[in-house]
Amino acid sequence: MKDVAQRAGVSPKTVSNVINGVVFVRDETRERVLAALTELDYVPNLSARGLRNGRSGVIALALPDLATAYSAETAAAFVELAHERGWGVQIEQTGAEPHREAELISRARAHLVDGLVLNPVRLAESAIVTGGQLPPVVLIGEVQQDLVDSVSVDSVAAARDMTAALIARGHRRILALGTVRADFDTASARSRTEGYRQALAAAGLPHDPVLEVGVPWTPGDAAAAMRAHLARHGAPDAIFAFTDSMALGALSELWRAGLAVPADVAVAGFDDVVEGRFASPPLSTVSFDRRAFAATALELLERRILDRDAPRERRVVPHALAFRASTGD
Amino acid sequence: MKDVAQRAGVSPKTVSNVINGVVFVRDETRERVLAALTELDYVPNLSARGLRNGRSGVIALALPDLATAYSAETAAAFVELAHERGWGVQIEQTGAEPHREAELISRARAHLVDGLVLNPVRLAESAIVTGGQLPPVVLIGEVQQDLVDSVSVDSVAAARDMTAALIARGHRRILALGTVRADFDTASARSRTEGYRQALAAAGLPHDPVLEVGVPWTPGDAAAAMRAHLARHGAPDAIFAFTDSMALGALSELWRAGLAVPADVAVAGFDDVVEGRFASPPLSTVSFDRRAFAATALELLERRILDRDAPRERRVVPHALAFRASTGD
DNA sequence: ACGCACCATTACAACGATGTAATGGTGGAC
DNA sequence: GTCCACCATTACATCGTTGTAATGGTGCGT
């Protein structure tokens, strides 16, 4: 900046004023500075700016597992919308480990990022509970917590609705894929299991533990679990996988077993990822507006960054059921 | 830091020395400082550190479209490996637009990121060609260019190998999905189209323009194109989609048309994404080690960051063909 | 007892941008 | 002609950290 100032024959501060659009700059001066700016191909040092005014213009987005289609779509929405607000997005993977979550919060406090959008997996162990100085944080997903803002879909209602829809289509033995298991006990799994059970109860259907298949939320684990289930218990009427990703794994295994979807078994998922839309057959699923979700989270985060003491907010984004061929629609 | 120093009864610089593991610190002093550090819950200001020593410890990863399974797996590999090197990853979406690429290079020069891993889409228009002051950049993907380091898979060979494998399985009319089109002319599309043609020529098979379907690389576009093709020209013997994502779209459309895979039409993809592994039927594809790919890119980037004048390198990561049920394997 | 070497610590400046307060310069009113 | 108001610009300090050079203190050899 010093060089630019010298070239334009003004002080560094005047250059700063031009860059930041301060009003009291004579047109002639401004033009001289702008010329020098482009001639020297000046680029501001954001570390310095960040140091000076306490903002880096970067937020962090932390997801449990980046390697999934769901993460990809979520990240894309956040990056695009954050960019509109002039923010960069630093992306992080927590691997569902609380210590990684805590680490990220430290990083945020390290002023490298102005705020943090965090998708925690377990509540009790979550780093958030450790009071202390919290940077601006917005939680996304099922984990709710008293100290910070959050955005979520009503997973209980969504799972209940989808299960009810399967029941309405005449299915009785509905396998839930991805329910809570001792070694895989997440808030999302709990909500969706809860919704599933509520729908069964409401319809007066028996609750069969065999139909609750606890399994890590990956297509591979889902496929393996389905294979074991089919061998031991035969085919259910329908499968409600708690993520599209697991539903795809289930579809693959059904194909392998020579079972037709939806003729022999109906299948539904959760998330509405693109790959589900183009599955064979296309997957019925719980859908929600990813952009609206991200926009809400960013809105809360910005509010929190501007005012640390703003009242805590908990927003719920509406969901909808998308019925496609995998349930015979 | 000043507070910590005061509490420990030393100067700020000594605190800094303790934090950075400088040798000449008496054990007793170190302990006092460490105690003060934890008592005050000190977190270093990374903007200040970045300003002082010219490194932010963050790199940028720029991909054309974040909302794909391929991007997700790529990003996950980069984030994980970068984290091992102590780097954060800022993620960006270029939308295949050269001006976004140029913008990112500016950002890199703005010292918010120490380097940039860029997946450009078109060569001629790419921002890289505008000489000027370049920050440390590593290109990934097919776009090759003289000024900067790059890592890629040999797409021509890979496409040739896969096409040859389809020919070896007795297929003659092999549809290539995602070939170059006037309004969608990318380096990757060129390489793969080239490899496809080479294999046909090597086998003495005729080159039928009808079988080269130019289409944007998304499952939706692929499905639509397949539908049109099936209606007009009937089913080919096999389909070689230039991404798994398009292959999934094609599978979906074949399912819709009542065509059996692989009995009626064989299908192969490119990328080996998880969703392809669990497609119905599982997708044959061109596979490569994503982690090794990312590791190579990061290695080149680090080298470049440490030495701007290091000789330019162009690395090729090996690929392999994975044959699964979609080609009858 | 003196000086020297060596280790531990400190004072100071600098990284680059920007807020604050002060300065310089111009035009108008009386 | 003088003074004031007001606009444009500048000098200086500051954000938090760390490299450099200087300082202080201890123990050893002679």
Domains and CATH numbers, chain B: 2-44 (1.10.260.40), 56-153+289-317 (3.40.50.2300), 155-288+321-327 (3.40.50.2300)
pTM to 2 decimal places: 0.94
The verdict on a CB contact (< 8 Å) between A93 and B76 is yes
The answer to whether A76 contacts chain B (CB < 8 Å) is yes
The answer to whether A260 contacts chain B (CB < 8 Å) is no
What is the spatial distance, in angstroms and rounded to an integer, between the CA atom of A153 and the C1' atom of C26?
63
Share of chain B above pLDDT 90, in %: 75
Name which of B322, B72, B276 is nearest A220 in CA terms. B276
Q: Lowest-confidence range among B4-13, B129-138, B261-270?
A: B129-138
Q: Is the CB of B133 under 7 A from strand D?
A: no
Could you identify the residue whose CA is nearest to the C1' atom of nucleotide C7?
B24
Angle subtended by helix axes B27-39 and B12-19, to nearest 10: 90
Chain D positions with any atom < 7 A from a protein CB:
7-12, 14-20
Beta bridge partners of B184: B181
Q: Is the CB of B172 under 7 A from strand D?
A: no
Q: Which residues of chain A register pLDDT less than 70? A: 123-132
- Give per-residue pLDDT as tens, B155-207: 999 999 999 999 999 999 999 999 999 888 889 999 999 999 999 999 999 99
- Looking at residue B212, its pLDDT comes to 97
Q: Which residues of B touch A281 (CB under 8 A)?
A: 252, 255-256
Question: Which B-chain residues 175-214 have CB contacts (< 8 A) with chain A?
Answer: none
The DSSP H or E segment spanning B8 is helix B2-8
Q: What is the spatial distance between Cα B191 and Cα B121, in angstroms, rounded to a whole number?
A: 12
Structure confidence at residue B256 as a pLDDT band (50, 70, 90): very high
Here the tokens at position A87 are 């923010």
What mean pLDDT comes out for the span B85-105? Answer: 86
Q: CB pairs below 8 Å between A and B: how many?
A: 184
Q: Which residues of B touch A249 (CB under 8 A)?
A: 278
3-state secondary structure of A320: strand
Catalogue the long-range contacts made by B113-116 (C-beta closer than 8 Å, 24 or more residues apart): B113/B56, B113/B58, B113/B59, B113/B60, B114/B55, B114/B56, B114/B57, B114/B58, B114/B59, B114/B87, B114/B305, B115/B59, B115/B60, B115/B301, B115/B302, B115/B304, B115/B305, B116/B59, B116/B60, B116/B61, B116/B62, B116/B301
Q: Are strands B88-93 and A319-322 parallel, antiparallel or unpaired?
A: unpaired
Here the tokens at position A315 are 């927003």
In chain A, the residue whose alpha carbon lies closest to the alpha carbon of B247 is A278
User: Smallest CA–C1' separation from B17: which nucleotide?
Assistant: D18
Buried b (16+ CB within 10 A) or exposed e, A92-104: bbbebebebbbbb
Residue B107 predicted with pLDDT over 80: no
Q: Is the CB of A13 under 7 A from strand D?
A: yes
Residue partners of A23: CB distance under 8 A and separation at least 6: none
N-term to C-term CA, chain A: 63
Residue indicated by tokens 């690389």? B217
Q: Lowest-confidence range among A217-221, B40-44, B230-234, B265-269?
A: B40-44
What is the spatial distance, in angstroms and rounded to an integer, between the CA atom of B13 and the C1' atom of D22?
14
Strand order in the sheet with B137-140: A314-317, A149-153, A137-140, A115-118, A58-63, A88-93, B88-93, B58-63, B115-118, B137-140, B149-153, B314-317
Mean pLDDT of all residues belonging to chain A: 92
What mean pLDDT comes out for the span B247-259? Answer: 96
Pick among A280, A324, A326 to test the B interface (most B CBs inside 10 A): A280
Burial of A130 per CB tally in 10 Å (0-12, 13-18, 19+):
exposed
The answer to whether A66 contacts chain B (CB < 8 Å) is yes
Cβ(A149)–Cβ(A300) below 8 Å: yes
Mean pLDDT of all residues belonging to chain B: 92
Q: Which residues of B touch A226 (CB under 8 A)?
A: none
Angle subtended by helix axes B187-202 and B155-168, to nearest 10: 40
Residue B127 predicted with pLDDT over 70: no
Structure confidence at residue B105 as a pLDDT band (50, 70, 90): confident
Name which of A129, A119, A69 is nearest A97 in CA terms. A119
What is the spatial distance, in angstroms and rounded to an integer, between the CA atom of A74 and the C1' atom of C8?
52
What phi and psi values does residue A308 have, to the nearest 5 degrees?
-60, -25
Q: What is the spatial distance between Cα A30 and Cα A8, in angstroms, rounded to a whole number?
A: 9
The answer to whether A107 contacts chain B (CB < 8 Å) is yes
Q: What is the spatial distance between Cα A10 and Cα A214, in angstroms, rounded to a whole number?
A: 69
Q: What is the spatial distance between Cα B258 and Cα A245, in angstroms, rounded to a whole number?
A: 24
Residue indicated by tokens 């640390």? A308
The verdict on a CB contact (< 8 Å) between A278 and B252 is yes
Write the single-letter amino acid at B142: E
Q: Are strands A314-317 and A284-288 parallel, antiparallel or unpaired?
A: unpaired
The answer to whether B284 contacts chain A (CB < 8 Å) is no
What mean pLDDT comes out for the span B64-70? Answer: 94
Cβ(B7)–Cβ(B42) below 8 Å: no
What is the spatial distance, in angstroms and rounded to an integer, between the CA atom of A11 and the C1' atom of C22?
15
Q: Which residues of A touch B117 (CB under 8 A)?
A: none
Here the tokens at position A116 are 């943090």
What is the spatial distance, in angstroms and rounded to an integer, between the CA atom of A25 and the C1' atom of C26?
15
Q: What is the spatial distance between Cα B305 and Cα A218, in angstroms, rounded to a whole number?
A: 37
Burial of B327 per CB tally in 10 Å (0-12, 13-18, 19+):
buried
Pick among A41, A43, A47, A92 to test the B interface (most B CBs inside 10 A): A47
The answer to whether A73 contacts chain B (CB < 8 Å) is yes
Q: What is the spatial distance between Cα A290 and Cα A137, in angstroms, rounded to a whole number?
A: 19
Beta bridge partners of B138: B117, B149
Q: In the 6-35 stretch of chain B, whose C-beta falls under 7 Å of nucleic acid strand D?
A: 12-13, 16, 19-20
More confident residue, B42 or A126: B42
Could you identify the residue whose CA is nearest to the C1' atom of nucleotide C9?
B14
What is the spatial distance, in angstroms and rounded to an integer, between the CA atom of A13 and the C1' atom of D2?
33
More confident residue, A103 or B236: B236
Q: Is the CB of B40 under 7 A from strand D?
A: no
- Looking at residue A13, its pLDDT comes to 92
Q: What is the spatial distance between Cα B30 and Cα B17, in angstroms, rounded to a whole number?
A: 9
CA of B89 vs chain A CAs: smallest distance (Å): 6
What is the radius of gyration, based on Cα positions, of chain B?
Answer: 25
Distances (CA, A) of A6 to A12, A17, A216, B225: 8, 15, 62, 59
CA of B79 vs chain A CAs: smallest distance (Å): 7
The verdict on a CB contact (< 8 Å) between B219 and A92 is no
What is the spatial distance, in angstroms and rounded to an integer, between the CA atom of A27 and the C1' atom of D1?
32
Which DSSP symbol is given to B130?
Answer: S
- Looking at residue A320, its pLDDT comes to 98
Q: What is the spatial distance between Cα B13 and Cα B34, in angstroms, rounded to a whole number?
A: 14
The answer to whether B272 contacts chain A (CB < 8 Å) is no
Chain C positions with any atom < 7 A from a protein CB:
7-12, 14-20
- Residue B258's region, left for phi above 0, alpha for psi from -120 to 50, else beta, is left
Q: Which residues of B touch A43 (CB under 8 A)?
A: 106, 109-110
The DSSP H or E segment spanning A222 is helix A219-233
What is the radius of gyration, based on Cα positions, of chain A?
Answer: 25
The verdict on a CB contact (< 8 Å) between B112 and A65 is no
Q: Are strands B88-93 and A88-93 parallel, antiparallel or unpaired?
A: antiparallel
Q: What is the spatial distance between Cα B251 and Cα B267, in angstroms, rounded to a whole number?
A: 8
- Looking at residue A61, its pLDDT comes to 96
CA of A81 vs chain B CAs: smallest distance (Å): 11
